[in-house]
Amino acid sequence: MDCHPLFYIVFLLCALNQCSAIQAETNQTAHLLVSTSEGSGRKASETLFGIFFEEINHAGAGGLWAELVSNRGFEAGGQNTPSNIDPWTIIGDESSIIISTDRSSCFTRNKVALRAEILCDTTGSNVCPEGGVGIYNPGYWGMNIEQEKTYKVILHVKSLDSVNISVSLTSANGLQKLASTYIFASASDVSNWTKVEVLLKAKATDHSARLQLTMTRKGVIWFDQVSAMPVDTYKGHGFRKELVEMVASIKPRFIRFPGGCFVEGEWLRNAFRWKESIGPWEERSGHFGDVWMYWTDDGLGYFEFLQLAEDLGSFPVWVINNGISHNDQVATSSIMPFVQEMLDSIEFARGPPNSTWGSVRAAMGHPMPFDLRYVAIGNEDCGKKNYLGNYLKFYNALRNAYPDIKMISNCDGSSHQLNHPADMYDFHVYTSANNLFSMSQQFDHTSRNGPKAFVSEYAVTGNDAGTGSLLAALAEAGFLIGLERNSDVVQMASYAPLFVNANDRRYRSLISS
């Protein structure tokens, strides 16, 4: 319906129990005069509304990124530990198959491969059970396999014997085959690591399906880097189509990535390192995100984030680690290797295809530079001992090498203007509906000089949020009205977190993947 603008204001106030009943006479006419003359208001920032993506709540692994296999490289949990094949599960028992991991991976960054010793056969005293023995992967709480859709399965195999491997997408209990094929190879063909690709077209739909690799012939087979993805992804770049289309529909002007706390890590050893997340996916080692406590194979890496921003027509906002995690930090005197990491990352994004890191990007299929204009130095680190010293090292190096790039500080620009130069500063707020609504005037009296504010994380949290509530939405809308009214000092704003997988609801969000 068409509503009078005043209706929204009154409704917001009433929804938050901040209005009282008013006796009104009938048959009255109200007149609202709106001036559109120049100088009657503030022009909204062209980059005001965007999105923030963080690997939290399995938003990427098991969410936006279309990879169906969880722990595709058998690396999760550490080397040579039983947990590192989770959620891979054995089909058969110890009399028919023995599963272990060893350090035989042929990929430089990876450490382990899965070794399957098949003890049964088609004949003899130990005959394999019907359907064979092997391993299966349920993905992230079940693979969503849809009828008539095609899925590409890639696996790397090695064996000293000839192999006959059944590759299937099945129901959750493994009894119904949704799609299947066989891999036949002689011993000479697979004596060294061999990459095999198959296409499987599903004949039925199952939202809790799994991938099975089964054998019925005695011998030893090694598996590594096993992937299953739908062929039809968003613009062919590996993202789940239906989720990205939802994001694209809101026309975000920017996308901030990859965090958030995910950038920092609880410890620096588990922080996101962009160089480990580029290049062929098989060679990415993956890492344990110890902030949100799950493994990611880093298939969704720095390159993919830049590609997503381009696909959405959004500016990438690249958040870098400034040598600080939640529990440890690098001294300013030793920070230069991290500064160089940042400079290399920008060359990867913007450098010509014949530059050192630009050539790596070009080899990944994108010879033209990405339109990277914004770099955020750290995440929520302003109060930490080494942040200000470290920040200035990053700032000076970046300003000298790329003077056009806008830099975003973790420190409030209104209190650090003299000794802490920045183009923008982060402002984060997570609070109750009542508090957030009352913050609609947060920037009314902010100085119009100095760095602009980037409200890069805001949300109603706690009981007010639930799994998405009208009260939370109204409070956030009221807050956004205040940001828009002050968009001469608020340059950008993004809600957080963008996605939540319903099976891993650590933080509340309005969109489930």
Residue 12: what pLDDT?
41
CA distance 257 to 77: 25
What is the full DSSP assignment across 101-119?
EES---SSS---EEEEEE-
Residue 35: what pLDDT?
65
φ, ψ for residue 354 (rounded to 5)? Answer: -100, 5
Task: Retrieve residue 465's tokens.
Answer: 């949020």
Q: Which residue has the tokens 């609801």?
A: 505
Residue 15: what pLDDT?
41
Domain architecture of the chain: domains with CATH: 51-66+233-495 (3.20.20.80), 82-230 (2.60.120.260)
pLDDT mean for each 10 residues of the chain (513 residues): 36 41 57 64 86 95 96 77 77 94 86 94 94 96 97 97 96 96 95 97 98 96 97 97 96 96 95 96 92 93 98 98 97 98 98 98 98 97 95 97 97 68 95 95 89 95 85 95 94 94 72 37
φ, ψ for residue 6 (rounded to 5)? Answer: -65, -30
114 touches 74 (CB < 8 A): yes
Q: Which residue has the tokens 């087979």?
A: 221
3-state secondary structure of 404: coil
Sign of the alpha-carbon torsion through 16, 252, 454, 289: positive
H or E element that contains 289 = strand 287-289
CA distance 187 to 196: 15
Q: Could you tell me how far CA 83 lies from the centroid of its own chain?
A: 24
Q: Which of 171, 158, 65, 154 is nearest to 106 (CA)?
A: 158
Those residues with Cβ within 8 angstroms of residue 463's Cβ, 6 or more apart along the chain or in another chain: none
What is the full DSSP assignment across 27-82?
S---------STTSS-PPPTT-B-EE--S-TTSTBTTTB----SSTTS-TT-TT-G
What is the full DSSP assignment across 215-272?
E-S-EEEEEEEEEEEES--GGGSSB-HHHHHHHHTT--SEEEES-SHHHH-SSGGGS-
- Report pLDDT digits (tens) over 34-61: 666 665 567 888 999 999 999 999 999 9
Residue 414: what pLDDT?
65
Q: What is the 3-state secondary structure of 1-23? A: CCCCHHHHHHHHHHHCCCCCCCC
Q: Which of 286, 362, 339 is nearest to 65 (CA)?
A: 286
Task: Retrieve residue 380's tokens.
Answer: 């929520």
Task: Retrieve residue 39's tokens.
Answer: 């100088």
3-state secondary structure of 458: strand
57 touches 291 (CB < 8 A): no
* Beta strands 97-102; 113-118: pairing state: antiparallel
CA distance 156 to 185: 13
Residue 174: what pLDDT?
94
3-state secondary structure of 320: strand
Task: Retrieve residue 403's tokens.
Answer: 């003077």
Those residues with Cβ within 8 angstroms of residue 33's Cβ, 6 or more apart along the chain or in another chain: none
Q: Report the length, in residues, of the chain.
A: 513
Task: Retrieve residue 497's tokens.
Answer: 């977190």
